[in-house]
Chains A and B, each alone.
Chain A
Protein backbone atom coordinates (compact mmCIF):
# COMPACT_ATOMS: atom_id res chain seq x y z
CA UNK A 1 0.00 0.00 0.00
CA UNK A 2 2.80 2.41 0.97
CA UNK A 3 4.63 1.84 -2.28
CA UNK A 4 1.43 2.47 -4.25
CA UNK A 5 0.97 5.80 -2.51
CA UNK A 6 4.61 6.81 -3.04
CA UNK A 7 4.50 5.79 -6.69
CA UNK A 8 1.22 7.67 -7.13
CA UNK A 9 2.72 10.84 -5.67
CA UNK A 10 5.77 10.47 -7.87
CA UNK A 11 3.77 9.93 -11.05
CA UNK A 12 1.54 12.89 -10.16
CA UNK A 13 4.62 15.06 -9.69
CA UNK A 14 6.04 13.95 -13.03
CA UNK A 15 2.78 14.54 -14.85
CA UNK A 16 2.02 17.76 -13.00
CA UNK A 17 4.37 19.90 -15.00
CA UNK A 18 5.79 19.48 -18.46
CA UNK A 19 6.56 23.13 -19.26
CA UNK A 20 9.61 23.34 -21.48
CA UNK A 21 12.68 24.81 -19.79
CA UNK A 22 15.03 26.58 -22.22
CA UNK A 23 18.76 25.81 -22.33
CA UNK A 24 19.66 29.18 -20.78
CA UNK A 25 17.29 28.46 -17.89
CA UNK A 26 18.99 25.18 -16.94
CA UNK A 27 21.81 26.60 -14.82
CA UNK A 28 20.47 25.04 -11.63
CA UNK A 29 19.42 21.81 -13.33
CA UNK A 30 22.98 21.45 -14.66
CA UNK A 31 24.43 21.49 -11.16
CA UNK A 32 26.33 18.17 -10.78
CA UNK A 33 24.31 17.38 -7.64
CA UNK A 34 21.11 17.48 -9.73
CA UNK A 35 22.28 14.57 -11.87
CA UNK A 36 19.70 11.81 -12.23
CA UNK A 37 22.35 9.11 -12.15
CA UNK A 38 24.48 7.95 -9.26
CA UNK A 39 28.00 9.34 -8.95
CA UNK A 40 31.05 7.26 -9.86
CA UNK A 41 32.09 6.92 -6.25
CA UNK A 42 28.64 5.46 -5.45
CA UNK A 43 29.46 2.28 -7.38
CA UNK A 44 30.91 0.62 -4.28
CA UNK A 45 27.69 1.22 -2.39
CA UNK A 46 25.59 -0.15 -5.27
CA UNK A 47 27.86 -3.20 -5.55
CA UNK A 48 27.70 -4.26 -1.92
CA UNK A 49 23.94 -3.76 -1.91
CA UNK A 50 23.65 -6.00 -4.99
CA UNK A 51 25.58 -8.69 -3.07
CA UNK A 52 23.73 -8.38 0.24
CA UNK A 53 20.19 -7.67 -0.95
CA UNK A 54 17.79 -9.64 -3.10
CA UNK A 55 16.61 -6.58 -5.01
CA UNK A 56 18.66 -5.08 -7.82
CA UNK A 57 18.07 -2.90 -10.84
CA UNK A 58 16.36 0.39 -11.65
CA UNK A 59 19.28 2.25 -10.09
CA UNK A 60 21.90 2.22 -12.83
CA UNK A 61 23.74 -0.69 -11.22
CA UNK A 62 23.92 -4.30 -12.25
CA UNK A 63 20.67 -6.20 -12.58
CA UNK A 64 22.22 -9.64 -12.27
CA UNK A 65 25.11 -11.39 -13.93
CA UNK A 66 28.74 -10.48 -13.96
CA UNK A 67 29.42 -11.66 -10.45
CA UNK A 68 28.48 -14.45 -8.10
CA UNK A 69 25.87 -12.23 -6.49
CA UNK A 70 22.16 -11.95 -7.12
Chain B
Protein backbone atom coordinates (compact mmCIF):
# COMPACT_ATOMS: atom_id res chain seq x y z
CA UNK B 1 0.00 0.00 0.00
CA UNK B 2 2.88 2.40 0.79
CA UNK B 3 4.21 1.77 -2.71
CA UNK B 4 0.86 2.75 -4.23
CA UNK B 5 0.67 5.93 -2.17
CA UNK B 6 4.22 6.75 -3.27
CA UNK B 7 3.32 6.26 -6.92
CA UNK B 8 0.27 8.50 -6.67
CA UNK B 9 2.30 11.21 -4.92
CA UNK B 10 5.05 10.84 -7.53
CA UNK B 11 2.54 11.28 -10.34
CA UNK B 12 1.16 14.46 -8.84
CA UNK B 13 4.64 15.89 -8.17
CA UNK B 14 5.91 15.14 -11.67
CA UNK B 15 2.67 16.32 -13.26
CA UNK B 16 2.87 19.62 -11.43
CA UNK B 17 6.52 20.08 -12.39
CA UNK B 18 5.82 19.32 -16.02
CA UNK B 19 2.86 21.70 -16.23
CA UNK B 20 5.14 24.37 -14.83
CA UNK B 21 7.65 23.72 -17.64
CA UNK B 22 5.05 24.02 -20.38
CA UNK B 23 5.45 27.04 -22.63
CA UNK B 24 2.68 29.27 -23.95
CA UNK B 25 0.75 27.88 -26.89
CA UNK B 26 0.71 31.15 -28.78
CA UNK B 27 3.38 31.42 -31.42
CA UNK B 28 3.67 27.65 -31.79
CA UNK B 29 3.68 26.19 -35.27
CA UNK B 30 0.19 26.24 -36.75
CA UNK B 31 0.58 23.43 -39.32
CA UNK B 32 -1.90 20.71 -38.46
CA UNK B 33 -1.25 17.16 -39.55
CA UNK B 34 -4.19 14.80 -39.64
CA UNK B 35 -4.33 12.53 -36.60
CA UNK B 36 -4.95 9.60 -38.94
CA UNK B 37 -4.24 9.93 -42.66
CA UNK B 38 -6.17 6.93 -43.99
CA UNK B 39 -8.71 4.43 -42.81
CA UNK B 40 -6.94 1.47 -41.22
CA UNK B 41 -8.34 -2.02 -41.04
CA UNK B 42 -7.03 -4.76 -38.78
CA UNK B 43 -8.10 -8.33 -39.28
CA UNK B 44 -7.16 -10.27 -36.16
CA UNK B 45 -7.65 -13.83 -35.00
CA UNK B 46 -6.65 -15.96 -32.06
CA UNK B 47 -6.75 -19.71 -31.43
CA UNK B 48 -6.48 -20.75 -27.78
CA UNK B 49 -6.42 -24.20 -26.22
CA UNK B 50 -5.89 -25.31 -22.63
CA UNK B 51 -5.89 -28.44 -20.55
CA UNK B 52 -5.74 -29.20 -16.85
CA UNK B 53 -7.45 -31.25 -14.16
CA UNK B 54 -8.83 -28.67 -11.74
CA UNK B 55 -12.07 -27.56 -13.38
CA UNK B 56 -14.07 -25.11 -11.30
CA UNK B 57 -17.34 -26.39 -12.82
CA UNK B 58 -16.73 -29.75 -11.14
CA UNK B 59 -15.49 -28.35 -7.85
CA UNK B 60 -11.74 -28.19 -8.51
CA UNK B 61 -11.39 -31.72 -9.87
CA UNK B 62 -12.05 -32.57 -13.51
CA UNK B 63 -11.05 -31.76 -17.04
CA UNK B 64 -10.32 -28.14 -17.98
CA UNK B 65 -9.97 -28.86 -21.69
CA UNK B 66 -11.06 -25.86 -23.74
CA UNK B 67 -10.55 -24.44 -27.22
CA UNK B 68 -11.49 -21.01 -28.46
CA UNK B 69 -11.37 -19.28 -31.84
CA UNK B 70 -11.73 -15.50 -31.91
CA UNK B 71 -11.83 -13.56 -35.20
CA UNK B 72 -11.97 -9.78 -34.82
CA UNK B 73 -12.05 -6.72 -37.05
CA UNK B 74 -10.90 -3.26 -36.01
CA UNK B 75 -11.58 -0.30 -38.31
CA UNK B 76 -10.18 3.16 -37.57
CA UNK B 77 -11.77 5.92 -39.65
CA UNK B 78 -10.50 9.51 -39.77
CA UNK B 79 -13.63 11.67 -39.47
CA UNK B 80 -11.75 14.92 -40.06
CA UNK B 81 -8.29 16.31 -39.25
CA UNK B 82 -8.83 15.90 -35.50
CA UNK B 83 -11.25 13.05 -34.93
CA UNK B 84 -11.05 9.30 -35.32
CA UNK B 85 -13.83 6.74 -34.99
CA UNK B 86 -12.74 3.20 -34.15
CA UNK B 87 -15.09 0.25 -34.53
CA UNK B 88 -14.00 -2.98 -32.89
CA UNK B 89 -16.16 -6.06 -33.41
CA UNK B 90 -15.45 -9.70 -32.83
CA UNK B 91 -16.71 -13.07 -31.79
CA UNK B 92 -15.17 -15.76 -29.66
CA UNK B 93 -16.44 -19.30 -30.20
CA UNK B 94 -15.41 -21.88 -27.64
CA UNK B 95 -15.91 -25.50 -26.80
CA UNK B 96 -15.27 -26.45 -23.19
CA UNK B 97 -15.21 -29.87 -21.59
CA UNK B 98 -15.63 -28.42 -18.11
CA UNK B 99 -18.59 -26.22 -19.11
CA UNK B 100 -20.16 -29.25 -20.75
CA UNK B 101 -20.29 -30.79 -17.29
CA UNK B 102 -22.76 -28.21 -16.06
CA UNK B 103 -24.99 -31.07 -17.21
CA UNK B 104 -22.92 -34.27 -17.21
CA UNK B 105 -25.97 -36.58 -17.36
CA UNK B 106 -26.39 -36.77 -21.13
CA UNK B 107 -26.90 -40.55 -21.18
CA UNK B 108 -24.14 -41.03 -23.74
CA UNK B 109 -21.76 -42.62 -21.29
CA UNK B 110 -21.12 -42.63 -17.56
CA UNK B 111 -21.16 -39.11 -16.11
CA UNK B 112 -17.57 -38.29 -15.13
CA UNK B 113 -15.83 -35.01 -14.24
CA UNK B 114 -12.82 -36.02 -16.35
CA UNK B 115 -14.91 -36.66 -19.48
CA UNK B 116 -16.66 -34.07 -21.64
CA UNK B 117 -20.41 -34.27 -21.95
CA UNK B 118 -22.51 -33.31 -24.97
CA UNK B 119 -24.73 -30.86 -23.05
CA UNK B 120 -25.84 -27.48 -24.43
CA UNK B 121 -23.20 -25.69 -22.36
CA UNK B 122 -20.37 -27.53 -24.13
CA UNK B 123 -19.98 -24.57 -26.48
CA UNK B 124 -20.94 -20.92 -26.68
CA UNK B 125 -20.25 -17.79 -28.70
CA UNK B 126 -19.19 -14.52 -27.13
CA UNK B 127 -19.78 -11.47 -29.34
CA UNK B 128 -18.54 -7.99 -28.62
CA UNK B 129 -18.79 -4.56 -30.20
CA UNK B 130 -16.95 -1.43 -29.10
CA UNK B 131 -17.11 2.03 -30.64
CA UNK B 132 -14.53 4.64 -29.64
CA UNK B 133 -14.50 8.26 -30.72
CA UNK B 134 -11.40 10.35 -30.13
CA UNK B 135 -10.80 14.05 -30.57
CA UNK B 136 -7.40 15.75 -30.53
CA UNK B 137 -6.82 19.44 -29.94
CA UNK B 138 -5.21 21.58 -32.66
CA UNK B 139 -1.79 21.38 -31.00
CA UNK B 140 -2.28 17.62 -30.42
CA UNK B 141 -1.55 18.10 -26.74
CA UNK B 142 -5.03 17.19 -25.53
CA UNK B 143 -6.97 14.07 -26.49
CA UNK B 144 -10.49 13.14 -25.43
CA UNK B 145 -12.05 9.75 -26.05
CA UNK B 146 -15.51 8.35 -25.46
CA UNK B 147 -16.28 4.65 -25.64
CA UNK B 148 -19.40 2.50 -25.80
CA UNK B 149 -19.30 -1.28 -25.66
CA UNK B 150 -21.71 -4.17 -25.73
CA UNK B 151 -20.96 -7.85 -25.37
CA UNK B 152 -23.11 -10.91 -25.06
CA UNK B 153 -22.89 -14.63 -24.56
CA UNK B 154 -25.59 -17.15 -23.68
CA UNK B 155 -25.52 -16.55 -19.93
CA UNK B 156 -23.98 -13.06 -19.79
CA UNK B 157 -24.70 -9.59 -21.16
CA UNK B 158 -22.61 -6.49 -20.70
CA UNK B 159 -23.00 -2.83 -21.58
CA UNK B 160 -20.13 -0.44 -20.95
CA UNK B 161 -19.41 3.24 -21.22
CA UNK B 162 -16.11 4.98 -20.69
CA UNK B 163 -13.93 7.89 -21.51
CA UNK B 164 -10.44 9.25 -21.15
CA UNK B 165 -8.59 12.53 -21.19
CA UNK B 166 -4.92 12.72 -22.16
CA UNK B 167 -2.64 15.71 -21.79
CA UNK B 168 0.80 15.96 -23.38
CA UNK B 169 3.28 18.58 -22.32
CA UNK B 170 6.98 19.26 -21.98
CA UNK B 171 7.33 19.16 -25.80
CA UNK B 172 5.40 15.89 -25.84
CA UNK B 173 7.97 14.28 -23.57
CA UNK B 174 5.43 13.81 -20.82
CA UNK B 175 1.94 12.38 -21.06
CA UNK B 176 -0.68 12.14 -18.39
CA UNK B 177 -3.92 10.29 -19.00
CA UNK B 178 -7.01 9.72 -16.90
CA UNK B 179 -9.70 7.20 -17.78
CA UNK B 180 -12.95 5.99 -16.27
CA UNK B 181 -15.17 3.07 -17.26
CA UNK B 182 -18.47 1.63 -16.08
CA UNK B 183 -19.68 -1.84 -17.03
CA UNK B 184 -23.25 -2.88 -16.26
CA UNK B 185 -23.41 -6.64 -16.63
CA UNK B 186 -26.20 -9.15 -16.18
CA UNK B 187 -26.01 -12.89 -15.68
CA UNK B 188 -28.61 -15.30 -16.97
CA UNK B 189 -27.70 -17.71 -14.19
CA UNK B 190 -27.21 -21.33 -15.24
CA UNK B 191 -26.87 -23.74 -12.32
CA UNK B 192 -25.42 -27.26 -12.18
CA UNK B 193 -28.01 -29.72 -13.48
CA UNK B 194 -28.43 -31.70 -10.24
CA UNK B 195 -29.05 -28.50 -8.22
CA UNK B 196 -31.83 -27.14 -10.44
CA UNK B 197 -34.57 -29.29 -8.80
CA UNK B 198 -33.72 -27.50 -5.54
CA UNK B 199 -34.19 -24.05 -7.06
CA UNK B 200 -37.35 -22.03 -7.37
CA UNK B 201 -40.27 -24.19 -8.56
CA UNK B 202 -38.19 -27.37 -8.52
CA UNK B 203 -39.43 -30.76 -7.33
CA UNK B 204 -36.38 -31.52 -5.18
CA UNK B 205 -35.56 -35.18 -4.56
CA UNK B 206 -38.71 -36.22 -6.47
CA UNK B 207 -36.86 -35.45 -9.68
CA UNK B 208 -36.27 -38.63 -11.71
CA UNK B 209 -32.55 -37.86 -11.92
CA UNK B 210 -32.08 -38.94 -8.31
CA UNK B 211 -33.35 -42.47 -9.03
CA UNK B 212 -29.87 -43.01 -10.48
CA UNK B 213 -28.01 -42.25 -7.24
CA UNK B 214 -25.45 -44.91 -6.36
CA UNK B 215 -25.75 -46.26 -2.80
CA UNK B 216 -27.95 -45.08 0.07
CA UNK B 217 -26.29 -41.80 1.11
CA UNK B 218 -28.93 -39.05 1.49
CA UNK B 219 -28.56 -36.18 -0.97
CA UNK B 220 -29.23 -32.85 0.77
CA UNK B 221 -27.47 -29.95 -0.97
CA UNK B 222 -27.23 -26.52 0.67
CA UNK B 223 -28.26 -24.81 -2.54
CA UNK B 224 -30.45 -21.74 -3.02
CA UNK B 225 -30.54 -19.59 -6.14
CA UNK B 226 -28.81 -16.21 -6.12
CA UNK B 227 -31.08 -13.24 -5.35
CA UNK B 228 -29.57 -10.83 -7.87
CA UNK B 229 -27.96 -11.42 -11.24
CA UNK B 230 -26.33 -8.05 -11.96
CA UNK B 231 -22.63 -7.26 -11.78
CA UNK B 232 -21.46 -3.66 -11.97
CA UNK B 233 -17.82 -2.65 -12.39
CA UNK B 234 -16.53 0.89 -11.90
CA UNK B 235 -12.94 1.69 -12.73
CA UNK B 236 -10.69 4.71 -12.80
CA UNK B 237 -7.17 4.73 -14.16
CA UNK B 238 -4.22 7.05 -14.25
CA UNK B 239 -1.37 6.69 -16.71
CA UNK B 240 1.85 8.67 -16.72
CA UNK B 241 4.39 8.35 -19.57
CA UNK B 242 7.79 9.98 -19.72
CA UNK B 243 10.56 10.11 -22.31
CA UNK B 244 13.75 9.62 -20.34
CA UNK B 245 16.33 9.94 -23.12
CA UNK B 246 16.58 9.58 -26.90
CA UNK B 247 16.49 5.81 -26.41
CA UNK B 248 14.46 5.18 -23.26
CA UNK B 249 10.86 5.82 -22.32
CA UNK B 250 8.66 4.49 -19.58
CA UNK B 251 5.20 4.68 -18.10
CA UNK B 252 3.39 4.11 -14.83
CA UNK B 253 -0.23 3.03 -14.61
CA UNK B 254 -2.63 2.80 -11.71
CA UNK B 255 -6.09 1.21 -11.97
CA UNK B 256 -8.69 1.16 -9.19
CA UNK B 257 -11.74 -1.05 -9.67
CA UNK B 258 -14.85 -1.50 -7.58
CA UNK B 259 -17.17 -4.40 -8.41
CA UNK B 260 -20.61 -5.05 -6.99
CA UNK B 261 -23.26 -7.69 -7.48
CA UNK B 262 -23.09 -11.33 -8.45
CA UNK B 263 -19.34 -11.99 -8.47
CA UNK B 264 -19.74 -15.75 -8.13
CA UNK B 265 -20.02 -17.92 -11.23
CA UNK B 266 -23.38 -19.70 -10.78
CA UNK B 267 -22.40 -23.01 -12.40
CA UNK B 268 -19.20 -23.65 -10.44
CA UNK B 269 -19.70 -26.48 -7.95
CA UNK B 270 -18.42 -26.79 -4.39
CA UNK B 271 -18.15 -29.98 -2.28
CA UNK B 272 -18.17 -29.86 1.52
CA UNK B 273 -16.14 -32.23 3.65
CA UNK B 274 -18.90 -32.36 6.28
CA UNK B 275 -21.61 -33.55 3.86
CA UNK B 276 -22.17 -37.12 2.58
CA UNK B 277 -20.64 -37.85 -0.83
CA UNK B 278 -23.43 -38.75 -3.23
CA UNK B 279 -22.74 -40.05 -6.76
CA UNK B 280 -24.55 -40.74 -10.00
CA UNK B 281 -22.26 -43.00 -12.02
CA UNK B 282 -18.78 -41.48 -11.53
CA UNK B 283 -20.07 -38.00 -10.90
CA UNK B 284 -20.09 -36.47 -7.43
CA UNK B 285 -23.30 -34.45 -6.96
CA UNK B 286 -22.72 -30.86 -5.88
CA UNK B 287 -23.29 -29.66 -2.34
CA UNK B 288 -23.60 -26.04 -3.50
CA UNK B 289 -22.26 -23.56 -6.03
CA UNK B 290 -19.44 -21.19 -5.19
CA UNK B 291 -20.38 -18.28 -2.93
CA UNK B 292 -18.21 -15.16 -3.08
CA UNK B 293 -18.71 -11.71 -1.53
CA UNK B 294 -20.85 -9.30 -3.54
CA UNK B 295 -18.19 -6.59 -3.56
CA UNK B 296 -14.56 -6.59 -4.62
CA UNK B 297 -12.05 -3.75 -4.68
CA UNK B 298 -8.96 -4.16 -6.85
CA UNK B 299 -5.78 -2.14 -7.17
CA UNK B 300 -3.33 -2.69 -10.00
CA UNK B 301 -0.15 -0.66 -10.39
CA UNK B 302 2.23 -1.28 -13.24
CA UNK B 303 5.15 0.15 -15.11
CA UNK B 304 6.73 -0.23 -18.52
CA UNK B 305 10.27 0.63 -19.51
CA UNK B 306 11.44 0.37 -23.12
CA UNK B 307 15.04 0.64 -24.30
CA UNK B 308 16.08 1.12 -27.91
CA UNK B 309 19.44 -0.63 -27.71
CA UNK B 310 20.46 -0.30 -31.35
CA UNK B 311 19.08 -0.81 -34.86
CA UNK B 312 18.61 -4.51 -34.17
CA UNK B 313 17.47 -4.87 -30.55
CA UNK B 314 14.77 -3.24 -28.45
CA UNK B 315 14.01 -4.29 -24.88
CA UNK B 316 10.42 -4.00 -23.69
CA UNK B 317 9.90 -4.64 -19.99
CA UNK B 318 6.80 -4.63 -17.80
CA UNK B 319 6.01 -5.12 -14.13
CA UNK B 320 2.66 -5.07 -12.30
CA UNK B 321 1.67 -5.38 -8.69
CA UNK B 322 -1.92 -6.30 -7.93
CA UNK B 323 -3.94 -6.66 -4.77
CA UNK B 324 -7.61 -6.89 -3.86
CA UNK B 325 -9.79 -7.20 -0.77
CA UNK B 326 -10.36 -10.91 -1.37
CA UNK B 327 -6.82 -11.46 -0.13
CA UNK B 328 -5.04 -11.85 -3.44
CA UNK B 329 -1.56 -10.42 -3.99
CA UNK B 330 0.05 -10.82 -7.37
CA UNK B 331 3.20 -9.98 -9.31
CA UNK B 332 3.55 -9.95 -13.08
CA UNK B 333 6.83 -9.34 -14.88
CA UNK B 334 7.54 -9.68 -18.56
CA UNK B 335 10.24 -8.93 -21.05
CA UNK B 336 10.10 -8.92 -24.83
CA UNK B 337 13.10 -8.35 -27.07
CA UNK B 338 12.14 -7.40 -30.63
CA UNK B 339 14.98 -8.37 -32.99
CA UNK B 340 15.00 -6.68 -36.39
CA UNK B 341 16.43 -9.39 -38.61
CA UNK B 342 15.92 -7.33 -41.77
CA UNK B 343 14.26 -4.13 -42.87
CA UNK B 344 10.90 -5.87 -43.11
CA UNK B 345 11.06 -8.71 -40.59
CA UNK B 346 11.16 -8.56 -36.81
CA UNK B 347 11.22 -11.46 -34.35
CA UNK B 348 9.54 -11.20 -30.94
CA UNK B 349 10.88 -13.62 -28.30
CA UNK B 350 9.27 -13.02 -24.91
CA UNK B 351 9.01 -14.34 -21.38
CA UNK B 352 6.37 -13.60 -18.73
CA UNK B 353 6.31 -14.53 -15.06
CA UNK B 354 3.16 -14.44 -12.96
CA UNK B 355 2.36 -15.36 -9.36
CA UNK B 356 -0.58 -14.89 -7.06
CA UNK B 357 -1.59 -15.82 -3.54
CA UNK B 358 -4.91 -17.59 -2.97
CA UNK B 359 -8.17 -15.76 -2.35
CA UNK B 360 -9.33 -16.02 1.27
CA UNK B 361 -12.29 -18.09 0.09
CA UNK B 362 -10.45 -20.70 -1.96
CA UNK B 363 -10.30 -24.33 -0.96
CA UNK B 364 -9.59 -27.46 -3.06
CA UNK B 365 -12.06 -30.25 -3.77
CA UNK B 366 -13.96 -31.27 -0.64
CA UNK B 367 -11.99 -29.12 1.77
CA UNK B 368 -14.64 -26.50 2.48
CA UNK B 369 -17.11 -26.76 5.36
CA UNK B 370 -20.82 -26.10 4.93
CA UNK B 371 -20.64 -23.65 7.85
CA UNK B 372 -18.40 -21.24 5.92
CA UNK B 373 -20.00 -18.06 4.55
CA UNK B 374 -17.93 -17.86 1.35
CA UNK B 375 -16.28 -20.64 -0.63
CA UNK B 376 -14.94 -21.50 -4.05
CA UNK B 377 -12.85 -24.27 -5.59
CA UNK B 378 -11.95 -22.23 -8.66
CA UNK B 379 -8.21 -22.74 -9.19
CA UNK B 380 -8.03 -19.37 -10.96
CA UNK B 381 -8.32 -18.02 -7.39
CA UNK B 382 -5.76 -20.44 -5.91
CA UNK B 383 -2.11 -19.81 -5.13
CA UNK B 384 0.16 -20.53 -8.08
CA UNK B 385 2.97 -19.33 -10.28
CA UNK B 386 2.90 -19.35 -14.06
CA UNK B 387 5.52 -19.06 -16.76
CA UNK B 388 4.80 -18.04 -20.31
CA UNK B 389 7.18 -18.30 -23.27
CA UNK B 390 6.46 -16.61 -26.55
CA UNK B 391 7.79 -16.13 -30.04
CA UNK B 392 6.43 -13.96 -32.79
CA UNK B 393 7.21 -12.49 -36.15
CA UNK B 394 6.13 -9.32 -37.89
CA UNK B 395 6.39 -8.38 -41.52
CA UNK B 396 6.20 -4.64 -42.17
CA UNK B 397 5.93 -2.90 -45.51
CA UNK B 398 5.64 0.84 -45.02
CA UNK B 399 5.13 1.29 -48.78
CA UNK B 400 2.16 -1.12 -48.83
CA UNK B 401 3.27 -2.75 -52.08
CA UNK B 402 0.85 -5.68 -51.77
CA UNK B 403 -2.74 -4.70 -52.57
CA UNK B 404 -6.10 -6.35 -52.09
CA UNK B 405 -8.70 -4.21 -53.87
CA UNK B 406 -8.12 -0.68 -52.42
CA UNK B 407 -6.41 -2.08 -49.34
CA UNK B 408 -2.66 -1.86 -49.02
CA UNK B 409 -1.04 -4.40 -46.71
CA UNK B 410 1.06 -2.61 -44.11
CA UNK B 411 1.96 -5.39 -41.71
CA UNK B 412 1.45 -9.05 -40.86
CA UNK B 413 1.78 -10.22 -37.25
CA UNK B 414 2.03 -13.75 -35.93
CA UNK B 415 2.49 -14.79 -32.28
CA UNK B 416 2.70 -18.05 -30.34
CA UNK B 417 2.62 -18.35 -26.54
CA UNK B 418 2.93 -21.37 -24.27
CA UNK B 419 1.64 -20.91 -20.72
CA UNK B 420 2.24 -23.25 -17.79
CA UNK B 421 1.05 -23.11 -14.19
CA UNK B 422 2.77 -25.01 -11.43
CA UNK B 423 -0.69 -26.34 -10.50
CA UNK B 424 -0.93 -28.24 -13.77
CA UNK B 425 -2.86 -26.06 -16.22
CA UNK B 426 -1.18 -25.58 -19.58
CA UNK B 427 -2.33 -23.54 -22.53
CA UNK B 428 -1.23 -22.48 -26.00
CA UNK B 429 -2.21 -19.42 -27.95
CA UNK B 430 -1.64 -18.67 -31.62
CA UNK B 431 -2.69 -15.22 -32.77
CA UNK B 432 -2.26 -13.24 -35.92
CA UNK B 433 -3.17 -9.96 -37.52
CA UNK B 434 -3.22 -8.25 -40.89
CA UNK B 435 -3.04 -4.46 -40.96
CA UNK B 436 -4.39 -2.75 -44.10
CA UNK B 437 -4.50 0.87 -45.18
CA UNK B 438 -7.48 1.96 -47.27
CA UNK B 439 -6.02 3.93 -50.12
CA UNK B 440 -8.03 6.77 -51.60
A residues whose Cβ falls under 8 Å from a Cβ of B: 2-4, 6-7, 10-11, 13-23, 25-26, 28-29, 31-36, 39-45, 47-49, 51-60, 63-68
Contact = CB atoms under 8 A, between A and B. Distances in A.
B241 interface: yes
Q: Which 7 A-B pairs have the closest CB atoms?
A: A65-B183, A65-B233, A44-B46, A57-B300, A58-B302, A57-B255, A55-B322
B42 A40 contact: yes
Given A28-B246, A48-B427, A58 B183 contact: no
Interface stretch (B220-228, B329-337, B366-374): B329-337
Contacts of A31: 308, 314
B249 interface: yes
B120 interface: no
Given A63-B255, A65-B231, A67-B156, A54 B356 contact: yes
B338 A63 contact: no
Contacts of A15: 10, 14
A26 to B, nearest CB: 7
Interface stretch (B103-111, B199-207, B274-282, B428-436): B428-436
Report, as a range, how many residues of chain B touch the other chain.
Answer: 35 or more
Of the candidates A16, A33, A43, A67, the one having the most CB atoms from chain B within 10 angstroms of its own CB is A33
B171 A53 contact: no
B303 A10 contact: yes
B245 A19 contact: yes
A10 B319 contact: yes
B69 to A, nearest CB: 10
11 contacts: A4-B3, A6-B333, A13-B250, A17-B248, A20-B171, A28-B246, A29-B308, A43-B46, A54-B326, A64-B235, A66-B160
Contact of B257 (A10, A21, A28, A63): A63
A58 B171 contact: no
A34 B336 CA distance: 11
B153 interface: yes
Contacts of B259: 64-65
A53 B245 CA distance: 35
A65 B182 CA distance: 8
Interface in B198-252: 231-233, 235, 237, 241-252
Contacts of A13: 244, 248, 250, 305
A7 B415 CA distance: 29
A65 B160 contact: yes
B359 A28 contact: no
Interface in B157-207: 158, 160, 170-173, 181-183, 185, 187
B183 A14 contact: no
Given A11-B10, A29-B243, 11 more contacts: A28-B247, A33-B338, A40-B435, A48-B419, A48-B429, A58-B300, A59-B332, A65-B259, A67-B153, A67-B158, A68-B153
B304 interface: yes
B6 A59 contact: no
Contacts of A18: 14, 17, 170, 173, 242, 244
Nearest to B358: A54
Contacts of B146: none
Given A14-B252, A64-B259, A59 B318 contact: yes
Contacts of A63: 181, 233, 235, 237, 255, 257, 298, 300
Nearest to B431: A44
B275 to A, nearest CB: 27
Nearest to A17: B244
